[in-house]
Amino acid sequence: MTSKQRVCFMLQVKPDRLEEYRLRHAAVWPDMIDALQRTGWHNYSLFLTPRGDLIGYLETDDFQLAQTKMRAEPINQLWQAEMRDFFVETGNKDPDQLMSPLDEVFHID
């Protein structure tokens, strides 16, 4: 049995958009959730600090493949367009293109 790849990433939400960002994620579109699960995003969580630091965590068999599959989903393209303006310094990239996994330095198991 192969273990899932654990992925953690960090992005920055604009401080003046924090409340709206929270509200949007309290009602993620069901089609978006289905697409995430179908393309290999498991145990996916987002955490937001009061300063706007967004920490994401997920488990997947292959993060690069999961990202590629998700980018091909039409619902993801709509979601990313909706979310783009919530983030600091995107360089006109979609937020999902800015996800760069952090190095894992410790895991208890």
User: Considering the entire predicted model, what is its pTM?
Assistant: 0.90
Q: What is the pLDDT of residue 60?
A: 97
Alpha-carbon span 72 to 19, nearest angstrom = 29
Q: What is the pLDDT of residue 3?
A: 78
Domain boundaries, the chain: 5-97
Q: What is the pLDDT of residue 93?
A: 86
- CATH 3.90.1570.10 assigned to domain 5-97? The reply is no
Catalytic option among 15, 20, 22, 25: 25
107 is catalytic: no
pLDDT in tens, 33-87: 999 999 999 999 999 999 999 999 999 999 999 999 999 999 999 999 999 999 9
Starting at the earlier edge strand, list the strands of the sheet with 42-48: 5-12, 53-60, 42-48
